[in-house]
Amino acid sequence: MQFTQGMEYFFSGFKLITQKGLKRFVFIPLLINIVLFGSSLFFLYGWLTEGFAYLTNLLPTWLSWLEWLMWPIAVLVILFSYSMVFTVITNFIAAPFNGLLSEKVELYLTGQKINDDGLADIVKDVPRMLGREWTKLCYYLPRAIGFFILLWILPVIGQVLWVMFTCWMYAVQYKDYAFDNHKIGFREMKQDLKQKQGLSYGFGLAVMLLTAIPIINLIVMPVAVCGATRLWVDNYRPHYRN
C-alpha cells in the first residue's frame, strides 16, 4: 500500500506544477534542468560516439557486430546510472529554488506560511541550503561507488541493489527540501523516511523511471519537488506540528 502511495505522490506533482501561484516558482528549476541536462547529454553522446568508434577500430572484422550490442547496453547503464549522478549535481545548483518551490507548495496545500522571511533572509539562507546539499552529496557518493561496483560483480543481485539504492536516494533528495525548510536535521530526516520505507521506495521508483525517459526527464525535478512536498504535508508534517 505504501509503495503505490509513494508513486501516486510523485505523479500528483504533475498537477501541482500547473496550479496558479505555483507555476512561476517552477520556471527556474525547470530552466536549470533543461539547460544542464540537455547540454550534458549532447556532450555525452559525442563522447560515446568517439569511444565506440575507437573500440570498433580495435575489434577484428568478424567481431564488428558487437557494436550493435554495446550501444543498447551503454544506453541502459547511462539512463539509470548517469541520470542519478546528474540529478544530484543539478539539485545542488538548483537547491535554493527547489527549497522555495517546496515552501510555496506547502503554503498552497496548507494555507500556512513556514516562516515570514523576506527576500534578504532567503538570500542569507542560501549557504545553509547549499551546505545541506553537500551533506546529501557526501552521503550519496561513497554508497554510490560501493553499489556501482556490486552492480557489475554480482549478477542480478547487484542490479537489484543498485535500483533500490537509486530509489532511496531519489526519495532522500526530493523529500529533504520540505524537511530542510522546517530546519529538521538530515539525520532525523533519514530516520523519519526509514519509518515509512514503502513511501520512499515507491516515490523513488517513479522518479527513476521517468528520469530515464527523454524529454519527460526535463520536468521531473520540479514535479518531484512538488510531489515530495505533498507527501511531507500528509505524512510527516502533522508530527512536527503537534
36: which 3 cell numbers?
Answer: 544542464
CB-CB contact of 179 with 189 (8 Å): yes
Q: Nearest to residue 225, comparing CAs of 167, 178, 185?
A: 178
Residue 232, SS3 per DSSP: helix
Residue 46 neighbours by CB under 8 Å, 6+ apart: none
Phi, psi of 57 (to 5 degrees): -65, -25
Q: Which amino acid is at 229?
A: T
81: which 3 cell numbers?
Answer: 546510472
- Any idea what DSSP says for residue 63? G
**What is the pLDDT at residue 213?**
79
d(CA 169, CA 201): 9
**Over the stretch 127-152, which tens digit does the pLDDT of each residue have?**
778 888 889 888 988 998 898 888 77
**Which pTM does this prediction carry?**
0.80
Phi, psi of 175 (to 5 degrees): -70, -25
d(CA 178, CA 20): 20
What is the residue-level pLDDT of the chain in tens, covering all 242 positions? 789 999 999 999 999 998 888 878 888 777 877 777 767 666 666 666 666 666 666 666 666 666 666 666 666 656 555 566 666 677 777 778 888 899 999 999 998 887 665 555 566 677 778 888 889 888 988 998 898 888 778 878 888 898 899 899 999 999 999 999 888 999 999 999 999 999 999 999 999 889 877 778 788 889 999 999 999 999 998 888 65
Neighbours of 33 (CB within 10 A): 22
